[in-house]
């Protein structure tokens, strides 16, 4: 993996030359809608910096929802790997999807799908990337990280360091994020706790930057945008919140909850809907039939339960802010809800977002109906204005993307050091990890 010496001094060859004005390309891979939500602030910040040109590749898992979100955010996709497409009427298995992402990234690079640029000798050559940004813990993120690593493109991990330390919970996410950590050159951790997790695993302290969570950046921006439905929300048409008339948002999709777990969540919602007949329980149904069928079977016919299709993100953030309580197994909601002061019951036995538990923003309840109902009643029946009505947000100030781009500018283009560093230790540590590969464009 050592690059052949061209005879040009490294200081002249390095991509770190701040004199070059042309934006430098970085590959940004997104697969699911939650990934896109959290990477849109980074993509926008890369563009606005004038220093980078993000090449945005969709793996094609949540194709329609993702493309709609990208368009609403005034961005564009450069390529779609279509890894989630059904073939012969069948959805791809996890291994099939991973293989499609790896070979897809390899293909678009080798077939010059990324635009070519004129080289110094007047010939056309494929324009590579300084780095590949992946987010979080999805299987597509792990596949993209491995593909970039094999192409000798430095991997940058956004939302690094979340851990349960149990490879089976959540599955396969815990394994995915640990895999990404082993090949990543640069780690952007949302919290100090996440950074500590990485250091305990042997990751160099100086290659980890604490940024806050980009979900908060996106939430702050999106809440300032119109929902698209005037003063109301389409999924709440005809309902006016008020005393005793509250909104409870419920989502369920985690693989480890398939089967008995989702059945338990649905039963809890049924009981709560009967206990609070004046309130509305909004249940966006996940596209995966394994997650949506049991919810539909258990809750169809409950007059104050609204079973709805997945919501447009800009409507969804307004729905989050309007809710009195959220019951979910979603990772993103565990971060977003505390930012607008909404308590969350997490239908899992453990969470990699322990900061929210310690802050009182999240309560772990598992999937036992009795336990879910008991905790929901405690929250819904407490007196308005009680101190615990405003759980603390531990996930950042909405400037995570700004910190990420400043760090990339420092490491890749020799810009100023980010605020957490008073010298060159971040850039030096990442370049030590890369060894002789350096940060020349890879293509």
Q: Active-site positions?
A: 137, 159, 173, 253, 255, 286
Answer for the pair 26, 130: CB distance below 8 angstroms, yes or no. Answer: yes
Find how far residue 401's CA is from the centre of its chain: 12
Strand order in the sheet with 280-284: 305-308, 280-284, 247-250, 325-328, 344-346, 362-364
Q: What is the CA radius of gyration of the chain?
A: 23
3 state DSSP class of 227: coil
Q: Is the peptide bond before 269 cis (omega within 30 degrees of 0)?
A: no
Answer for the pair 326, 356: CB distance below 8 angstroms, yes or no. Answer: no
Distance separating alpha carbons of residues 337 and 321, to the nearest angstrom: 7
Reference 306, options 232, 237, 227; nearest CA is: 237
3 state DSSP class of 426: helix
Note the helical H segments in 14-93: 33-49, 63-72
Answer for the pair 38, 332: CB distance below 8 angstroms, yes or no. Answer: yes
Burial of 414 (0-12, 13-18, 19+ CB in 10 A): middle
According to DSSP, residue 231 is labeled T
Reference 334, options 322, 346, 323, 324; nearest CA is: 346
Answer for the pair 78, 46: CB distance below 8 angstroms, yes or no. Answer: no
Distance separating alpha carbons of residues 10 and 189, to the nearest angstrom: 30
Distance separating alpha carbons of residues 400 and 116, to the nearest angstrom: 31
User: Which residues neighbour 69 within 8 Å (Cβ) at sequence distance 6 or greater?
Assistant: 33, 36, 37, 40, 313
Burial of 94 (0-12, 13-18, 19+ CB in 10 A): exposed
Answer for the pair 322, 338: CB distance below 8 angstroms, yes or no. Answer: no
């Amino acid at each position: 993996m050592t690059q052949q010496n061209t005879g040009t001094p490294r200081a002249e060859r390095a991509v770190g030359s701040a004199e070059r004005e042309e934006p430098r390309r970085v590959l940004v891979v997104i697969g699911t809608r939650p990934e896109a939500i959290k990477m849109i602030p980074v993509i926008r910040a890369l563009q606005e910096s004038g220093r980078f040109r993000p090449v945005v590749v969709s793996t094609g898992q949540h194709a329609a929802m993702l493309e709609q979100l990208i368009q609403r955010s005034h961005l564009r996709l450069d390529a779609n790997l279509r890894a989630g497409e059904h073939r012969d009427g069948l959805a791809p298995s996890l291994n099939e999807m991973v293989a499609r992402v790896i070979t897809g990234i390899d293909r678009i690079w080798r077939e010059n799908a990324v635009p070519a640029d004129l080289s110094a000798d007047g010939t056309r050559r494929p324009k590579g990337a300084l780095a590949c940004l992946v987010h979080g813990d999805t299987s597509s993120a792990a596949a993209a990280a491995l593909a970039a690593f094999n192409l000798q493109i430095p991997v940058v991990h956004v939302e690094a360091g979340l851990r349960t330390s149990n490879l089976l919970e959540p599955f396969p996410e815990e394994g995915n994020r640990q895999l990404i950590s082993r090949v990543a050159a640069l780690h952007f951790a949302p919290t100090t706790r996440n950074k500590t997790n990485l250091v305990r695993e042997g990751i160099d302290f100086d290659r980890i930057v604490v940024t806050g969570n980009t979900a908060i950046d996106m939430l702050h921006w999106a809440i300032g945008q119109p929902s698209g439905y005037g003063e109301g929300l389409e999924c709440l048409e005809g309902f006016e919140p008020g005393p005793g008339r509250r909104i409870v948002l419920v989502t369920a999709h985690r693989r480890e909850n398939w089967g008995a777990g989702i059945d338990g969540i649905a039963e809890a919602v049924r009981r709560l809907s009967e206990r609070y007949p004046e309130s509305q329980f909004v249940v966006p149904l996940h596209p995966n039939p394994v997650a949506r069928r049991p919810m539909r079977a258990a809750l169809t016919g409950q007059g104050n339960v609204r079973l709805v299709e997945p919501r447009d993100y800009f409507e969804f953030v307004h729905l989050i802010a309007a809710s009195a309580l959220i019951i979910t197994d979603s990772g993103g909601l565990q971060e977003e809800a505390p930012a607008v002061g909404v308590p969350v019951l997490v239908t899992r036995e453990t969470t990699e977002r322990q900061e929210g538990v310690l802050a009182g923003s999240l309560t772990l309840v598992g999937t036992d109906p009795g336990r879910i109902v008991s905790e929901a009643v405690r929250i819904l029946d407490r007196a308005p204005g009680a101190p615990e009505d405003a759980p603390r947000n531990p996930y950042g100030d909405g400037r995570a993307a700004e910190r990420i781009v400043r760090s990339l500018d420092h490491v890749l283009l020799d810009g100023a050091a980010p605020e957490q560093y008073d010298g060159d230790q971040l850039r030096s540590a990442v370049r030590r990890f890369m060894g002789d590969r350096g940060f020349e464009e890879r293509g």
